[in-house]
Amino acid sequence: MLKAQLTLDKDFVVDRIDPRLYGGFVEHLGRCVYEGIYEPGHPSADAQGFRQDVLALVRELDMPVMRYPGGNFVSGYRWEDGVGPRSQRPVRMDLAWHTRESNQVGVNEFMDWCRLAGTAPMMAVNLGTRGPEEARQLVEYCNHPGGTALSDWRRSHGYASPHAIKMWCLGNEMDGDWQMGSKTAAEYGRIACEAAKVMKWVDPSIELVVCGSSNRGMDTFGAWEAEVLEHTFAHADYLSLHQYYGKRDKDTMKFLAQPELMGDYIREAVATCDYVAARKKSSKRIQLSFDEWNVWYHSHGDRQDLSKWPMAAPLLEDIYNMEDVLVFGGMLITLLNHVDRVKAACLAQLVNVIGPIMTRKGGPAWRQTIFYPFMQASKYGRGETLRAIVRSPVYQTAARADVPYLASAVTRDAAGVTIFAVNRHLAEPLALSVDLRSFEGLKVAEWTVMRHDRLDAVNTEKVEAVRPVKTKGAVMKDGRHLAVRLPPASWNVVRLVPAAG
């Protein structure tokens, strides 16, 4: 049997976990907004058209921040189209996804939905086809109390109090040639600097996220970040990271190793941020916003005929399986182990479009397999991350050498200690021993396991085949030593609480 060990000390802390690590993403793409969060006439819809069954599931995920309205969509978006009387809102071509946008949901409706969902917006501005002036105007419309043309325009729309949006993204993936108004690093750096400057002049309290590379595989990765930060360092608070992982061939073990590449990506981005700080002789530290991440590959090449410019076309509707849970859980673990610099992250996306939640028009909403690891991490992975000493057997892949069979993160809050663990071995259980030498009097409160005999098992609206199951067999000795046997190809959550509690 494979064996692994974690050694923990309550004084060895990575950092506190910013709750915004458990953010989400709503883009005007496919059926994420229309037939996702918004479907007037649905049996569960409220007076504003928001699906209450979807809202209930979103509340289970407890996402403190929600990125909006894109994504590629934002680089051609006119925010003014989505405010005021709905009957007067124009229908526009969305060049990003080759569909039509009705603008029936806009800034104010999204703010209403956020309040119902218990989340706060992370608003993106269009720096593709628009620029600093339009970005400044949106901040004024949303955040200024009143007494100006734009803030009074908001008030005339029924929103007397400002929305007080705290976090703003300066465009989206501006280095990608698929992006409307894509730019070189120098071009983007200059426009982002000027947008940031005037946006903060309107509201000095806001925080700004500057675009990093669209993903680690971009040819300009590293050089792009350095150039952009040279221009924006004085105004930016966060650098964005985006990454999706997929299974490109039949090599499951290579697929399961990809969260390790995510850790490499984070460390490289941190090094670049700190390089620019060193050049500027500054003690300021740019933090990271990993504001797009997920498993995404099932729907690649599955685009529909969009020649007629449909509305709410079913796009990118990946159906996730048990195998995806292992990679998805590994990505969550990677984020938790880098909370010293990753202060926000957004699972992309929320509903239907590569989302943890699926809906049927006029019918039910249900939880995909990846719903559960996120829900458990969001619920139990709060407080602070502990820096564990990990000993694990490893395997080799073409993508990365020395991949540990054990992927793990450990968090601690007032309720106790939580261990998140993935056994990547497909056939062998992993005997995990945890040395909690500086802790006293802990007991096992619960151990849940997600696994299935078939890695391709999925959840549907009728059958939930993959979900956490409470399991017995985790043994705590003398309150300080845990022994637990992780099943093959499994996602595990072990919660430890004070024995006296």
Catalytic residue ranges: 173, 292
Q: The tokens of 125 are what?
A: 């501005």
Token match 């590449």: residue? Answer: 261
CB contact burial 157-176 (16+ within 10 A = b; e otherwise): eebeebbebbbbbbbbbbbb
Closest CA relative to residue 107, chosen from 34, 163, 29: 163
CA distances to 2, 229, 412, 492 from 331, in Å: 23, 26, 19, 14
The Cα–Cα gap between 263 and 241 comes to: 12
Inter-residue contact 465 to 457 (CB < 8 Å): yes
The Cα–Cα gap between 326 and 419 comes to: 15
The Cα–Cα gap between 420 and 370 comes to: 15
Inter-residue contact 434 to 408 (CB < 8 Å): no
SS3 492: strand
The Cα–Cα gap between 328 and 322 comes to: 10
**How would you class 307 by CB atoms within 10 Å of its CB: exposed for 0-12, middle for 13-18, buried for 19 or more?**
exposed
Residues 6 or more apart from 383 whose CB is under 8 A from it?
16, 17, 411, 412, 413, 414
The Cα–Cα gap between 348 and 353 comes to: 8
Token match 């479907």: residue? Answer: 39
Q: How far is Cα of residue 15 from the mean position of the Cα atoms in its chain? A: 19
Local structure of residue 89 (DSSP, 8 states) = P
For 354-426, where are the alpha helices, taking DSSP H only? 371-380
- Using left for φ > 0, alpha for ψ between -120 and 50, and beta otherwise, residue 416 falls in left
The Cα–Cα gap between 257 and 180 comes to: 33
Closest CA relative to residue 19, chosen from 280, 377, 292, 437: 377
Inter-residue contact 185 to 227 (CB < 8 Å): yes
Local structure of residue 42 (DSSP, 8 states) = S
Rg for the chain, CA atoms, rounded:
23
Inter-residue contact 315 to 411 (CB < 8 Å): no
Q: How many residues does the chain have?
A: 501
Helices 322-336 and 258-279 sit at what angle, rounded to 10 degrees? 30
